[in-house]
Amino acid sequence: MSEFKLDFQDTATAFADKSTSELKEKYRLFKLMGSQSLVKVGTKLTSIALSIGLPVKGLIKHTVFEQFCGGETIEECQPTIEKLGESHIGTILDYSVEGKSEEEDFEHTKDEIVKTIQRANEDANIPFAVFKVSGIAPYGTLEKVSAGIDLPEKSKLKWERIRRRVSEICEFAHSLDQPVFIDAEETWIQNAIDMLAEQMMQTFNRQLPIVFTTIQLYRADGLEFLKTSHAKAKESGYIYAVKLVRGAYMEKERERAEEMNYPSPIQPDKASTDRDYDAAVEYCLENIDSLAFVAGTHNEQSVQLLAQQMEQKGIAHNHPRVFFSQLYGMSDNLSYVLAKNDYNVSKYVPYGPVKDAVPYLIRRAEENTSVQGMMSRELLLIDRELKRRKS
C-alpha cells in the first residue's frame, strides 16, 4: 500500500479563491517582506509615522493590514469569514489590540472578546474564539505573579481584576459551549497565564473541551509541560485542551536571557523545536480519548506527519478533537488542501483599529523574515500559480 500523502504543491486549490490581480499584489508584498533590512526600516518608520500623527493609516490598511487582517471591526471581517467558509475553512476572530495599560482599555478589550465568542456561537464558520491575557491585564502584574513575587496591596487588586476578566470570558464561553483559546506569550509572564488557564480548564472542561491553553514548543520545557499538564487534568477529572505552536517570541526571549544573564528557555536549535513539536502532536494523538488539540503550524512536514498518523491510526479526517490552524494571509497551500481533504482547519483572522494592530503586524513581518525560507516558499507557490494560469 502506498504511503498516504497530501499534495501541498497543489496551487490551483491553494489559491482557488484569489483573483490574478490579488495574487500579484500578494507577491509584491511578500517580496518586500522578504528583505530583512527593508522590514527593519519600514517597521521603525511606520511606528514613528503613527506616533506623530502622519496620515499613513490608509497606506497600511490597503497593504500589509489587508493581507494579514480581516478588518477593523467584527462586521468588516464578514466577507473574509464567508470567503473562507466557502472553502470549508473556519475563522478564528482575534482582536489584536496590544500594549494597552489602563483598566478602561482592559475592560473594553474583555467586552470585545465576549462579542467574538457570541459571534462564533452564531456561525458554524467560526469554530473557536481566542484571547491574549496581556490584552486584559497590566503586563507588570503578570510579570510579578509569574516570578512568584509577593504582591503589594495595589497589585493584589489588579490580579483579582485580571482573574475576574478571564473567568468572565471563559464562563460566557462555557455557557454557550463555545471553545476559546488562551494564547501563549513571553516566558516571563507565562506562569501567570498557565495558572489561569489551568484554573479555567479545571472549572469549565468537565464535559466538553471549552478552554484551550497554548504550549510553545520552541521552549525547551514545552513537551514535558504538556505531559505533566495532561496527567494533572486526568487526575482531576477534566478534559485537557491545548493548542500546540512552535512559538512567536524567540528573538526577544534570547535577547532578554542574554541581557539579564539567565539560561535561555529556548531550544538550542530548530531541529530540537521540530522534534519536540512533532512528539507533542504524536502524544496528543495517542491520548485523543482524554484530550483535544489544535496543531497550529505553518510547517509542511509537521502537517503532513499529523495527517499520515491520523490515517495510520484510522482517525477520521474530521475528528472533533483534532484541528489544524494557520494564520490568515499565510500558508494557504496547507489550509486549503487540508480543507479539500475534509480535515478540520481554521485561520486566525486578526482584526482591530489599524493603529492598534500595528504591533501585531510588525511582529508578523519580523517573524516572517527571520523564519528561514518562509517568504521564498510563499513566493515560489504564488509564482507557480501565476504561471499555471497563463499556460
Distance between CA 83 and CA 125 in Å, rounded?
Answer: 10
Angle at 122 between CA 70 and CA 84, to 5 degrees: 35
Average pLDDT, integer, range 36-61:
62
In sequence order, the 6+-apart residues with CB closer than 8 A to the CB of 150 are none
pLDDT of residue 58: 72
pLDDT of residue 1: 37
pLDDT of residue 29: 83
pLDDT of residue 172: 98
Burial class (CB in 10 A: 0-12, 13-18, 19+), 122: exposed
pLDDT-based confidence at residue 148 (cuts at 50, 70, 90): very high
Distance between CA 155 and CA 162 in Å, rounded?
Answer: 10
Average pLDDT, integer, range 122-139:
96
Distance between CA 88 and CA 345 in Å, rounded?
Answer: 8
Average pLDDT, integer, range 186-210:
98
Higher pLDDT: 303 or 58? It is 303
Q: What percent of the chain has pLDDT over 90?
A: 77
pLDDT in tens, 310-320: 999 999 999 99
Is residue 210 scored above 90 in pLDDT? yes
Cell of 361: 503586524
Residue 17 sits at φ, ψ, to 5 deg, of: -100, 15
**Cα dist. 366→44, 249, 253, 292, 369 in Å?**
11, 10, 14, 31, 5
Higher pLDDT: 364 or 177? It is 177
DSSP string across 278-331: HHHHHHHHHTTTTEEEEEE---HHHHHHHHHHHHHTT--TT-TTEEEEEETTS-
Helix locations, the chain, DSSP H? 11-14, 20-33, 36-51, 57-60, 66-68, 78-86, 103-121, 139-147, 153-175, 187-204, 222-236, 250-259, 270-286, 300-312, 332-340, 354-370, 374-390
Q: Radius of gyration over alpha carbons of the chain, in Å?
A: 20
pLDDT of residue 391: 75
In sequence order, the 6+-apart residues with CB closer than 8 A to the CB of 366 are 39, 43, 251
Angle at 246 between CA 296 and CA 163, to 5 degrees: 75
Domains parsed from the chain with CATH numbers: 71-357 (3.20.20.220)
Is residue 65 scored above 90 in pLDDT? no
pLDDT in tens, 149-166: 999 999 999 999 999 999
Distance between CA 131 and CA 134 in Å, rounded?
Answer: 9
Residue 383: Cβ within 10 Å count: 13
pLDDT in tens, 331-388: 999 999 999 999 999 999 999 988 887 777 766 666 554 455 667 888 999 999 999 9
pLDDT of residue 42: 55
